[in-house]
C-alpha cells in the first residue's frame, strides 16, 4: 500500500511517523504541502518524497489522506486532481461530511464512492490516539482494512455505522483530550488551594489520571465498578462524589458534550453551503 498525505501538519506528521514505525518503507509514503518550511521539515525528518501541489502527482491506486483543516478542505479537494474512483480517499477534516467531500472532488458529474471519514485526536502525536471511522458503502473490506492500518498506526480505531454519529465521535474523543487536560488542570489547582506546592500538585494530578486510565484500560470491570471499589461508605471519596451529585456535574458534563456535537453538526452544514 502506498499513501500520499495532502497537508503536512501535526496529524500527517504523526501518521507518517507511526506508519514508518509499523514497518512501512519511506518509499511507500509521500506528502503534499504548500508551505516550503513544513515541506522541508517532513522531507528531512522522514526522508519521504514531498511535493508542493497535488495536481498531477497523485498516482492510481494510491491511498489519499486529506490531513488539512476543515476550512482548507474545499480548496485541497478541488485542486487535488482526483478524477475517478481509482483512489481510496480518507478525510480527517472535522465536521465535513463525505457528501460534501464527494462534491468537491468530482463536482456534479461524478459520484465519488471510495471515501472514508476519520476523526483522530491529538494523543496520536505520541502513538496513543483514538479514531472513529466511517466508510461509504462503495468502500470494500480490503480498503477499510487499509484505512484502519493507516489510522491504527497511531492508536486505537473504531468503525462507526452511521456518519451522523461522527459528530458524537468528535465530541467524545476528538475534543476529549481537552476535557481531560481541563480536569488535570482543575485537580492540580485544587491541590494547590489545599496547600500543596504547584509542582507536587501537578505531578499527583497527572499521574493519578494516567494511572486510573491505565487501570480502566487493563481491567475487565467497567469504570463504574472500578469507581465503586474506591468509594468506601462514609469515606473521603464518597464525600467528593456526593458533592459532584449535588452540583449535578454529570448532567452538566452531558450538556457540554452535546454542545460540542451540535457545533460539529453546525460546522458541517456550513461547509455544505460553500
Is the pLDDT at 108 greater than 60, yes or no? no
How confident is the model at residue 55, as a pLDDT? Answer: 80
Block residue for cell numbers 511517523: 17
Compute the average pLDDT of residues 11-35.
95
The answer to whether the CB of 106 falls within 8 A of the CB of 138 is no
Burial of 39 (0-12, 13-18, 19+ CB in 10 A): middle
Is the pLDDT at 109 greater than 60, yes or no? no
Compute the average pLDDT of residues 19-36.
94
- Tell me the per-residue pLDDT of 171-221, one tens digit each, with 9 for 90 and over: 999 999 999 999 999 999 999 999 999 999 999 999 999 999 999 999 999
Question: Average pLDDT of the chain?
Answer: 93
Phi, psi of 159, deg, nearest 5: -85, 135
Task: Report the candidate in 76, 52, 67 with the shortest Cα–Cα distance to residue 12.
Answer: 67
How confident is the model at residue 267, as a pLDDT? Answer: 83
- Tell me the per-residue pLDDT of 153-170, one tens digit each, with 9 for 90 and over: 999 999 999 999 999 999
pLDDT grade for 107, boundaries at 50, 70 and 90: low
Cell (9 digits) for 87: 483512489
Query: Please, what are the domains in the chain?
Result: 3-167 (3.40.50.720), 176-265 (1.10.3730.10)
DSSP SS3 for 129? strand
pLDDT grade for 146, boundaries at 50, 70 and 90: very high
pLDDT above 90 as % of the chain: 79
DSSP SS3 for 224? helix
Is the pLDDT at 86 greater than 90, yes or no? no
Of 67 and 81, which is predicted with more confidence? 67
How confident is the model at residue 23, as a pLDDT? Answer: 95
Task: Report the candidate in 155, 162, 196, 199 with the shortest Cα–Cα distance to residue 177.
Answer: 155
Cell (9 digits) for 113: 464512492
pLDDT grade for 245, boundaries at 50, 70 and 90: very high
In 99-233, DSSP assigns E strands to 115-119, 129-135, 155-159
- Tell me the per-residue pLDDT of 88-98, one tens digit each, with 9 for 90 and over: 999 999 889 99
How confident is the model at residue 95, as a pLDDT? Answer: 86
**Cα–Cα distance, 272 to 103 (Å, whole number):** 9
How confident is the model at residue 253, as a pLDDT? Answer: 96
How confident is the model at residue 273, as a pLDDT? Answer: 67
Is the pLDDT at 106 greater than 80, yes or no? no
Of 265 and 179, which is predicted with more confidence? 179
Residue 122 CA, distance from chain mean position: 6
Amino acid at each position: 500500500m502506498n499513501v500520499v498525505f495532502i497537508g503536512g501538519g501535526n496529524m500527517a506528521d504523526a501518521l507518517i511517523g507511526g506508519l514508518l514505525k509499523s514497518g512501512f518503507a519511506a518509499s511507500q509514503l509521500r506528502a503534499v504541502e504548500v508551505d516550503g518550511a513544513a515541506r522541508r521539515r517532513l522531507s528531512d525528518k522522514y526522508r519521504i518524497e514531498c511535493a508542493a501541489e497535488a495536481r498531477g502527482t497523485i498516482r492510481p491506486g494510491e491511498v489519499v489522506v486529506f490531513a488539512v483543516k476543515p476550512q482548507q478542505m474545499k480548496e485541497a479537494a478541488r485542486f487535488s486532481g482526483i478524477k475517478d474512483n481509482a483512489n481510496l480517499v480518507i478525510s480527517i477534516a472535522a465536521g465535513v461530511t463525505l457528501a460534501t467531500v464527494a462534491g468537491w472532488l468530482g463536482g456534479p458529474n461524478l459520484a465519488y464512492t471510495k471515501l472514508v471519514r476519520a476523526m483522530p485526536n491529538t494523543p496520536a502525536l505520541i502513538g496513543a490516539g483514538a479514531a472513529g471511522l466511517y466508510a461509504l458503502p462503495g468502500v470494500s473490506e480490503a480498503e477499510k482494512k487499509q484505512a484502519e492500518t493507516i489510522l491504527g498506526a497511531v492508536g486505537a480505531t473504531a468503525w462507526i455505522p452511521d456518519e451522523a454519529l461522527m459528530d458524537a465521535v468528535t465530541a467524545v474523543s476528538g475534543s476529549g483530550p481537552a476535557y481531560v487536560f481541563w480536569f488535570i488542570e482543575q485537580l492540580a489547582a485544587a491541590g494547590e488551594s489545599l496547600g500543596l506546592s504547584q509542582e507536587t500538585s501537578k505531578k499527583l494530578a497527572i499521574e493519578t489520571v494516567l494511572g486510573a486510565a491505565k487501570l480502566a484500560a487493563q481491567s475487565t470491570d467497567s469504570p463504574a465498578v472500578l469507581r465503586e471499589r474506591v468509594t468506601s461508605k462514609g469515606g473521603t471519596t464518597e464525600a467528593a462524589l456526593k458533592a459532584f451529585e449535588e452540583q449535578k456535574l454529570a448532567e452538566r458534563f452531558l450538556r457540554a458534550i452535546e454542545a460540542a456535537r451540535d457545533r460539529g453538526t453546525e460546522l458541517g452544514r456550513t461547509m455544505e453551503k460553500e
